[in-house]
Chains A and B, each alone.
Chain A
Amino acid sequence: MTTDRRIALVDLGRCEVETFPVSMDLEQRFLGGSGIATYLFCKHAPKMVDPGSADNICIVSAGYLSGTLSAPLGAAVLTSKSTATGLLARVCLDGPFAAEMRQAGFDHLVLKGRAENETCLLIRDGRIEFKEVHGLKDKSLSDQRAILREDVLAAKNVLAMVCSGTIALEVKDPEGIIAYEKKFLETIDEPPALNTPDQDGQDSEIMEGPAGSVDPAQIKQTLMQILGVQRLGLPPSGTKSGGGGKELNFQTAADRILLNTGLVLDENELKQIAYRCIAMERIYNIREGITSNQGRQADDYRENGWTRQAVLKKTKVFDPLRIDDLWSRLK
């Protein structure tokens, strides 16, 4: 079964685009945003790739709830192998880009290869056009902004990505989400709803999983990136980032997913999805060889039991995490 969300594999060298829908299974396992992005990266990135080379891939994905009433602008996440650390890196893009990208018909763009000339990707209503750009002087301010926002794509020779679209994003329960968000805005000045006390007790503890333990703050942050509710262009109070000030409220997130997409998830499943996403990233980093000179990150891995011996086990780690299809890529 497939969903109406689409992934585009863009081969910049050959100017070819291949699109396929996000399967229901993929959506249930990783939702969207950085979740599916990390999966796609692990799946498509060549082993021990030089991050500065054309073989490295770069994935731009819109958050799961981008463009909906819960996150009208949303946040996009750019995933690639970093030239600075040689590890998997993410960059969050605020602003209307994510919502426009979804309305233009794509949730995830996988950029492969390197464009011959300076190229601009024009994405509109399900079509991707390659447009060569020479010089930036004659561009309007908004185009230059787009270029600056995307300048991390320099190694791909992609200068700008322009998205605009008129594709309707289906809403499961229109009146339901209107009522929910309206109530939410009305209570915006009241103290934010915190995760229920016993969960908060758990929150201070470190989350254990089949592969190793993860800091709860990282679970929340990852989940925000998956859902695309990172920041919404609202005042720094950050009241819209999920209900509890800057904190993400799992119950609010689950309610919003249900009303917007009809996917029934509970708190534990959300945490599992975030854990799965972090696990994939860490397994990838370990495979690529995280070393002690990567400083704190490497220490964090060692302290929390993320070692090559511990994680590279198919039945113990990959099967319970439901990422066994990545075994051949990550072992």
Chain B
Amino acid sequence: MKILISDPNKCNGCRMCRTACAIRKAGVCNPEKSRIQVIQMDECDRYLPLVCQNCEDAPCIAACPKEAISRMDDPVLQTVIDYNKCVGCKMCLNACSFGAIGFDEDRGRPFKCDLCGGDPLCVHFCEPGALTLKDSAMIQYDQARTSALRRTVGIRR
């Protein structure tokens, strides 16, 4: 299973990902139409890019009265919106814990990140390397390794 990971310690808030996403998906530079949002956190002086997390027990699926959102057995396309069933009631926007679902007012339909079919454009445009597409099995290993490295720095000294 592929997961888009964002590292707030690397993100410099350049919004390249957001702009690229909006251009690819909507053809215009409009942050409202971007599938990725960069949250500026003044409290700790960090930025955090947020996308659909493809929750296992997704609130958006539970909230949809038309059963238009469903989970697929696919490593990339996990949670998908069926636009034939969607009526644009915006319940999913309300339900999403991350604010990762946006609403296209021109089309009257919600939208969310689809990982660009497995090759997310935002990852290519993230110059500091804050965004990475990882296999879920690798995340645990990478985190453990980073943590181990931090501890060994002290030992080497």
The interface stretch among A28-36, A40-48, A139-147, A320-328 is A139-147
B28 cross-chain contacts in A, Cβ below 8 A: 168-171, 174
CB-based contact B30/A72 at 8 Å: no
Assembly CA distance A186 to B121 (angstroms): 13
Cβ contacts B1-36/A at 8 Å (1 or 0 each): 000000000001111101110011011111111000
- We find that the number of chain B residues with CB closer than 8 angstroms to chain A is 26
Q: Is A68 an interface residue (CB 8 A)?
A: yes
Question: A185: which of B27, B31, B125 is its contact (CB, 8 Å)?
Answer: B125
B125 cross-chain contacts in A, Cβ below 8 A: 181-182, 185
CB-based contact B121/A178 at 8 Å: yes
B27 cross-chain contacts in A, Cβ below 8 A: 171, 174
Q: Is B124 an interface residue (CB 8 A)?
A: yes
CB-based contact B29/A68 at 8 Å: yes
Q: Is B82 an interface residue (CB 8 A)?
A: no
A171 cross-chain contacts in B, Cβ below 8 A: 23, 27-29
CB-based contact B127/A188 at 8 Å: yes
A69 cross-chain contacts in B, Cβ below 8 A: 16, 19-20, 23, 29
Cβ contacts B109-143/A at 8 Å (1 or 0 each): 00000000000010011011000000000000000
- We find that the number of chain A residues with CB closer than 8 angstroms to chain B is 32
CB-based contact A103/B30 at 8 Å: yes
Q: Is A67 an interface residue (CB 8 A)?
A: yes
Cβ contacts A125-146/B at 8 Å (1 or 0 each): 0000000000000001110010
CB-based contact A99/B23 at 8 Å: no
Task: Name the residue of chain A whose CB is nearest to the CB of B27.
Answer: A174
User: Which residues A242-271 have CB closer than 8 A to chain B?
Assistant: none
**Given A69-B23, A178-B23, A182-B124, CB of A141 within 8 Å of CB of B15:** no
With both chains docked as a complex, state the minimum distance between the C-beta of A291 and any C-beta of chain B, in angstroms.
43
4 closest A-B pairs by beta carbon, nearest first, are A168-B28, A168-B30, A169-B29, A72-B19
Beyond A178-B20, A181-B125, 15 additional pairs, beta carbon < 8 A: A67-B19, A69-B16, A72-B19, A73-B14, A96-B13, A96-B15, A103-B30, A141-B42, A142-B42, A168-B29, A168-B32, A174-B24, A174-B27, A233-B13, A235-B12
12 contacts between A and B (CB under 8 A): A67-B29, A69-B23, A73-B14, A99-B15, A166-B30, A170-B28, A171-B23, A171-B27, A182-B125, A185-B127, A235-B12, A235-B128
